[in-house]
């Protein structure tokens, strides 16, 4: 009993610590790579052919890559397994059905022409390795959806042993299937040579690289933006982060000016000087932001206060008395002494006397002196 328990525990531990062997498989020469679980075939190598189950039925694919560590699992949480290795019979069978694909494409084009489907372009046809599935690829001029059930029924009657499927593709896929010379003059297009997936491309990428926005310069043979716009976009975007933007005011060794052009890979900009109007190219380390220079000028014009270290919002100068002025009587009084104000009656009499005589009488001591002088004058008389 104890030996059986230890054996079952060992088996459970091995199951928990089992790492799946994941391989990347493609079904076309230049096609997207899909991941499958090949734990049952740990000796698979790139270039081997296998049979796997997909949403479109059983397909024959080629192992394109292997992983030492499994990649991130798919959304459903598991990989589909590899059913078996492809036999020589499977490879010969695939070649036989591939030879019929061109004939199917020509026949389908003739039927579409007879049905007057002018906006529909039959691009290619694909058989599965055993002929169980026939996929007809087509495109439309404006990309709108077209009902081709009638055409599918006609092709189904012509090939009753295969399940016919009509699939619409975009202009980039059409250019990839047809091949040909690229818009830049390269012998074979990038999409037909090494691109397995199409990345999203925007006009922003062309602007960041300083490429002319003329349609002939940024569009490919498919009529869409060229795939090569994404090749160096990240390098240009990183280089632009440390350079001033267009129309930015900067200070150069020759004076102040405005940025009119950028060379991200050279780490330099073209500046139009304000004084002379000339344009000169300067490296990044030769430039100084105009904002920093303006801040230094303001700081020099309005030096900070010695007490509060503020330049503009300082109230210390208004609160402090000017140099050389005497403090007021209220400020000169010692602490605890309150200035006495005359009563209202005395203030009224002083105002009346000042209005009659033109000036207010002096203090109490001066009044007594005037009274004595008046008495002496009367005695003399």
Residue 51: the pLDDT is 95
Residue 187: the pLDDT is 81
What average pLDDT is seen over the chain? 80
* CATH number of 152's domain: 3.30.300
For residue range 101-112, what is the model confidence (pLDDT) as tens digits?
999 999 999 999
For residue range 345-379, what is the model confidence (pLDDT) as tens digits?
544 444 444 444 444 444 444 444 455 555 555 45
Supply the pTM of this predicted model: 0.65
Residue 375: the pLDDT is 53
Average pLDDT over residues 144-163: 93
pLDDT of 136 higher than 50: yes
pLDDT > 70: percent of the chain: 72
Distances (CA, A) of 206 to 181, 261, 264, 367: 22, 15, 13, 99
Residue 8 lies in a domain: no
Distances (CA, A) of 115 to 104, 217, 221: 17, 38, 29
pLDDT of 300 higher than 70: no
Residue 155: the pLDDT is 96
Average pLDDT over residues 193-208: 90
pLDDT of 137 higher than 80: yes
Q: Are residues 71 and 134 in the same domain?
A: no
Q: Which of 169, 200, 229 is the endpoint of a domain?
A: 169
Alpha-carbon gap, residue 104 to 126, rounded angstroms: 9
Residue 132 lies in a domain: yes
CB-side neighbour CA atoms (13 Å) of 347: 5
pLDDT of 206 higher than 80: yes
Average pLDDT over residues 297-310: 65
Average pLDDT over residues 324-347: 50
Residue 363: the pLDDT is 47
Is residue 51 packed enough to be buried (19+ CB in 10 Å), middle (13-18) or exposed (0-12)? middle
Residue 137 lies in a domain: yes
Query: What is the helix (H) or strand (E) element at residue 83, kind and residue range?
Result: strand 82-85
Q: Which of 52, 86, 120 is the endpoint of a domain?
A: 86
> Are 41 and 49 spatial neighbours (Cβ–Cβ below 8 Å)?
no
Average pLDDT over residues 276-305: 78
Residue 123 lies in a domain: yes
Residue 357 lies in a domain: no
Total Cβ atoms within 10 A of residue 95: 9
Alpha-carbon gap, residue 35 to 80, rounded angstroms: 8
Alpha-carbon gap, residue 250 to 258, rounded angstroms: 6
Residue 356: the pLDDT is 46
Residue 377: the pLDDT is 54
Alpha-carbon gap, residue 375 to 380, rounded angstroms: 9
Average pLDDT over residues 201-210: 91
Residue 155 lies in a domain: yes
State the DSSP code for 202: -
Q: Are residues 100 and 132 in the same domain?
A: yes
Residue 272 lies in a domain: yes
Q: Which of 55, 86, 117 is the endpoint of a domain?
A: 86
Residue 11 lies in a domain: no
Range of the domain at 309: 242-320
Give the least confident one: 140-144, 201-205, 353-357: 353-357
| Total number of domains constituting the chain | 4
pLDDT of 57 higher than 80: yes
> Are 50 and 63 spatial neighbours (Cβ–Cβ below 8 Å)?
yes
Distances (CA, A) of 136 to 122, 127, 257, 273: 7, 9, 61, 63
pLDDT of 337 higher than 60: no
* CATH number of 310's domain: 2.30.30.140
């Amino acid at each position: 009993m104890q030996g059986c328990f230890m054996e079952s525990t060992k088996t459970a531990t091995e199951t928990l610590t089992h790492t799946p062997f994941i391989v990347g498989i493609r079904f076309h020469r230049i096609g997207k790579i899909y991941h499958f679980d090949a734990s049952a075939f740990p000796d698979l190598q790139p270039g081997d052919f296998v049979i796997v189950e997909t949403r479109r039925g059983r397909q024959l694919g080629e192992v394109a890559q292997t992983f030492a560590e499994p990649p991130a699992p798919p959304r459903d949480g598991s990989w589909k397994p590899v059913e078996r290795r492809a036999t020589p019979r499977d490879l010969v069978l695939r070649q036989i059905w591939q030879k019929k694909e061109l004939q199917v494409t020509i026949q389908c084009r003739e039927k579409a022409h007879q049905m007057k489907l002018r906006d529909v372009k039959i691009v290619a046809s694909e058989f599965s390795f055993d002929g169980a599935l026939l996929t007809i690829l087509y495109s439309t001029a404006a990309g709108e959806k077209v009902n081709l059930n009638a055409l599918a029924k006609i092709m189904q009657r012509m090939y009753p042993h295969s399940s016919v499927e009509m699939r619409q593709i975009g202009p980039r896929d059409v250019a990839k299937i047809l091949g040909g010379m690229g818009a830049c003059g390269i012998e074979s297009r990038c999409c037909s040579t090494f691109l397995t997936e199409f990345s999203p491309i925007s006009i922003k990428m062309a602007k960041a690289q300083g490429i002319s926005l003329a349609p002939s310069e940024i569009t490919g043979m498919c009529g869409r933006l060229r795939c090569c716009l994404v090749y160096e976009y990240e390098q240009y975007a990183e280089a632009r982060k440390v350079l001033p933007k267009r129309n930015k005011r900067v200070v150069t060794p020759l004076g102040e000016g405005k940025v009119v052009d950028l060379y991200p890979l050279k780490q330099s900009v073209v500046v139009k000087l304000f004084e002379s109007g000339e344009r000169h190219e300067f490296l990044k380390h030769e430039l100084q932001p105009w904002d920093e220079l303006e801040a230094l000028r303001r700081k020099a014009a309005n030096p900070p206060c010695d007490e509060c270290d503020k330049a503009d919002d300082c109230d210390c100068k208004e609160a402090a008395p000017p140099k050389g002025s005497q403090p007021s009587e209220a400020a000169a009084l010692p602490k605890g002494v309150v200035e006495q104000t005359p009563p209202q009656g005395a203030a009224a009499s002083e105002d009346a006397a000042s209005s009659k005589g033109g000036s207010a009488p002096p203090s109490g001591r001066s009044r007594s002196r005037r009274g004595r002088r008046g008495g002496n004058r009367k005695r003399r008389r």
